[in-house]
Amino acid sequence: MMIIEVKKLCRDFIYYEKESGIKGSVKNLFKRQKKIRHAVKDVSFEIGEGEIVGFIGPNGAGKSTTLKMLSGILHPTSGTALVSNYIPWERKEAFKRSFSFIAGQRSQLWGDLPAAESLYLNKCIYEIPDDDYNKTVKELTEMLNVAEFLKVQVRRLSLGERMKMELIASLLHKPTVFFLDEPTIGLDILSQQAIRDYLKEYNKKTGATIILTSHYTKDIEELCDHTIIINKGKKVYDGNIGDLRKMQSDNKVLSLTLPKIAEREEFEKYGEITSCEKNKIAIELANSKIGAVLPVILQNHDIADFSVEDLSLEKSISSIFASSDTETDETE
């Protein structure tokens, strides 16, 4: 069953260019150059119930704009979308109770109040019964290990602690659709892992559909099977991570560990050096060449250990960005 259906969704923004200096300011009073930014252009996709989907793209690609339209914050310029059988920008009461939206750079918690009071405010807004509220808060704070911080002012919490409280606030009403815009941005490794673990557990227990944007490929690799890539407002890939790697290249990465400091120049003839740090070096080369190159390396160099791996997800994604990098602004 498809819980999100998007067809030819577009969102344009109009802005004006201005020349610098007083002369430019005077000229701007009489004639301004109008430009149109196609933030999202003819984007279509479907997401099934219970999926965790990675929504990937570089800065300015249109990820946040798309999520804002799917959550009803923005109206599209054209196109249609259904989320849980609701048109998001109609903002019906039942729709607003069915989803949550977390942006890593914005807070829904009151900075000068203890986290518990912001949570209680959400309880009142969503009219959550006392028993359900108390049970949910206890369960979530224990799972995320933040129960001791409920009475601490939000502004005195660390970024990781605050993001965990943001998650709890967003999940109190048990949404069936969860939009996450950079939820792990700026967090340390342990906090990132704790949030990833919780999202997997929440998805498993409730069957909620989760759309996640992130610049950390670790988030995408651990959480998502389905991946949608957007660049300059256009969808450029829609499929699973395994196919994403395969469609880019049949290259592999040969990782070597040496008993001494690695000399980059000695290995450049074998392939493209992707990293060289202390006694470790990584070489990218065609899969078909590994059988011939590896014995030569082992014969001519002292190698302590080696491994052959697929290209990183990050490199595959970067290749797609580069191949789809087109201009989308128009001048009127």
* pLDDT at position 147 over 80: yes
Q: Per mean pLDDT, which range of 103-112, 241-250, 251-260, 304-313 is the poorest?
A: 241-250
Q: Could you tell me the pLDDT band of residue 49, with boundaries at 50, 70 and 90? A: very high
Residue 49 · residue 2 · CB < 8 Å: yes
* Residues in contact with 153: Cβ distance below 8 Å, sequence separation at least 6, in sequence order: 111, 112, 113, 114
* pLDDT at position 76 over 90: yes
Domains in the chain, CATH or no CATH each: 2-98+175-245 (3.40.50.300), 250-310 (3.30.70)
Q: Could you tell me the pLDDT band of residue 40, with boundaries at 50, 70 and 90? A: very high
Mean predicted confidence (pLDDT) in 297-317: 81
* pLDDT at position 89 over 90: yes
What integer pLDDT is reported at residue 322 of this predicted model?
66
Tens digits of residue pLDDT in 128-141 = 999 999 999 998 88
Q: Give CA–CA dist 186/162, Å, rounded.
A: 12
Q: Give CA–CA dist 146/89, Å, rounded.
A: 35
* pLDDT at position 82 over 80: yes
Residue 262 · residue 280 · CB < 8 Å: yes
Q: Give CA–CA dist 240/303, Å, rounded.
A: 35
Q: CA 325 → CA 3, 54, 240, distances in Å? A: 30, 20, 21
* pLDDT at position 214 over 90: no
Mean predicted confidence (pLDDT) in 62-73: 93
Tens digits of residue pLDDT in 102-137 = 886 677 888 889 999 999 998 999 999 999 999 999
How many Cα atoms within 13 Å fall on the side-chain side of residue 274? 16
> 71-95 burial, b if ≥16 CB within 10 A, otherwise e?
bbebebbebebbbbebebbeeeeeb
Q: Could you tell me the pLDDT band of residue 245, with boundaries at 50, 70 and 90? A: low
What integer pLDDT is reported at residue 221 of this predicted model?
84
Residue 158 · residue 103 · CB < 8 Å: no
Alpha helices in the chain (DSSP H): 21-30, 63-70, 93-96, 115-125, 130-143, 159-171, 189-206, 217-223, 241-248, 264-267, 287-300, 313-323
| Amino acid at the residue 195 | I
Q: Give CA–CA dist 204/244, Å, rounded.
A: 25
> In this structure, what are the phi and psi dihedrals at residue 201, rounded to the nearest 5 degrees?
-65, -45
